[in-house]
Chains A and B, each alone.
Chain A
Amino acid sequence: MPLIKINNLHKKFRVHKKEEGFLGSLKALFKRQYIDKEAVVDVSFSVGKGEIIGLLGANGAGKTTLLKMLTGIIHPTKGNVEILGYNPWDRKNEFLKEISLIMGQKAQLWWDLPAADCFLLLKEIYVIPEKQYRETIEELSIKLNVKHLLNIQIRRLSLGERMKMELIASLLHRPKVLFLDEPTIGLDVKSQRVIREFILDYIKKYSPAVILTSHYMDDIQYLCERVLIIRSGKIVYDGLLTDLAQKYSPNKIIKAHFKEKQESLNILLDLQKYGEILHNEKEQIHLMVNRENISNTTNYLLEHYEIIDLSIEEVDISITIESILDNKKLDSINDY
């Protein structure tokens, strides 16, 4: 039984087109031209209990719009969504009590108050029992190492500290469905890691259904097995992260460690027949080769040169994904 079920979801925004300059504004006052912008197009997928899926897409691809529809903040143009059996935009209190949304770019905590006060307010709003409330704050604030900051005004905290408080605030009521919209944006590497581990921990303990968006591939790789790639509002890939590389990256990398440093131009020219040389330093050469030519190339290398060590690796996943997000490669592919 999936906790999140989405069927043929659409969202169209109507924006008015304005010509440049003062005359343009004047014209728009009397005669307005509207253009329809399709933010989300025919999206369908579902997420089960304890599952965390990564939603990938360039800026403006429709990730946030999708999340805002799932949380009932904005109404869709068409289609239906069922989360825990509820329709999100009915915004029933029973539904709202079970979900949470964390946006790295929008603060929910009040600037002038210390986190402890904000949490108290949330306790009232979500009617959290006293015992659960105390335990959760204790546990989460120690894990994130912010216990000593609970009574300091939010505006005096650093970005990383604030984000940790936001996380605690969102998890106080132990949501069964969690939406994380770029939770680590703008944070330093260490804070990113702490937050990643923390999220994984929470998922293991309470097994909610989670949708995560992030620009950092590290987040995705660490947390998600399954990813969705969204481009211009359409989902162009839905499957395992590991399959993605095999399906859409035509190349692999051969890393060869030669016995002696290869200085002559000959070998370079030689190898270029098989693939692209990415790296050539001391005894190491990295060669990017089409999947089909992997065995030919390794055979050739082993026959003609003295090689100490040789390994074959996948191209870095973030490069593959970047190329999917950038070009139109996946437009024709619908075999997911």
Chain B
Amino acid sequence: MKKYLRLYAYFLRFSFSKSMEFRFDFFFRILMDFAWYGTQIAFFSILYKHTNLLGGWNFDQVLIFMGSIFVVDAVNMTVFSNNFWWLPTYVNRGELDYYLMRPVSSLFFLSLRDFAANSFMNLFFAIGFLVWTILRYPESFSIDKIMLFIFLLICGILLFAMMGMIFIIPVFWLHSQKGLKDIFSSFQRFGNQPHRIYSGWIKHVLTSILPFAFVASYPVSILFENSPLKAVMHSFILVISLFLFMRYFWKKGLRAYSSASS
């Protein structure tokens, strides 16, 4: 465990020194994300012109939800997205070879190696926005609720990343450009709305096999509920089982890896 933390410290160091070379990219990414934040907020403001409640939430509550979505997205963009973006290319070009030969988990190496230091600023903006939405909320929250919320949000971030990975792993068999990343992006949109607007089988899917409801929506909802422990347990079990499945699936994928020759 300590070894992995030290390795991650190196990953951070390398990507920061690398990204200083590309200042333009730095500002471009901030601009891109602000555009996305803007459209999301605008979308919900328009909806709330026509209704007071959406999935049981008023506008103040949806703002907190929005902040949580932004944080999940920013973490994902900084920590995982570069790695996930390149992985299919590596698999198809047979460039996993050296990663597979190291006495370190290949899954760890390939999903965390490339930290996007140029998205780092967005992380601050997103967290700042979330804190602001919580502070401006008319009522204040107890400290244990806040702690549980943070815990659930971290689980949500992990769930989101692991689902992303699970949709990329099929590239070992499909040899496509992106794995099934496009399908992932379509599903992901379900998670960008409050979970209570869904019902029936969609709701079941979003809380079990594809737990997008647990990425941000459930974490936020425990702030307004009285018995949050059930959700915490549920989320925790999801994280563990999705992790085990991802690891199993990754190993299956490696068995099919053919290491295209140069």
Contacts and interface: CB of A to CB of B under 8 A. Distances in A.
Contacts of A91: 100
A314 interface: no
Interface stretch (B6-14, B124-132, B220-228): B6-14
A112 interface: yes
B23 interface: no
Nearest to B15: A112
A106 B97 contact: yes
B103 A93 contact: yes
B50 interface: no
B103 A71 contact: no
Nearest to B109: A125
A121 B257 contact: no
B112 to A, nearest CB: 13
Contact of B10 (A72, A105, A124, A127): A124
A215 interface: no
B18 interface: yes
B14 A124 contact: no
B101 A106 contact: no
Contacts of A105: 262
Interface residues of A, number: 31
A110 B114 CA distance: 11
A99 interface: yes
B259 A74 contact: yes
A59 to B, nearest CB: 9
A125 B101 contact: no
Nearest to A97: B103
Interface-centre pick from B3, B100, B101, B262 (highest chain A CB count, 10 A): B101
Contact of A73 (B10, B100, B104): B100
A155 to B, nearest CB: 12
A106 B95 contact: yes
A72 B100 contact: yes
Interface string B83-107: 0000000000011111011111000
Interface in B1-38: 3, 6-7, 10, 14, 18
A121 B8 CA distance: 10
A73 B99 CA distance: 9
A75 interface: yes
Given A13-B258, A113-B14, A120-B10, 16 more contacts: A68-B97, A71-B101, A72-B100, A72-B101, A73-B96, A73-B100, A74-B258, A91-B100, A93-B104, A101-B98, A106-B94, A106-B98, A112-B18, A124-B6, A126-B103, A127-B3
Interface of B: 3, 6-7, 10, 14, 18, 94-98, 100-104, 255, 257-259, 261-262
Interface of A: 13, 64-65, 68, 71-75, 91, 93-94, 96-97, 99-101, 103, 105-106, 108, 110, 112-113, 117, 120-121, 124-127
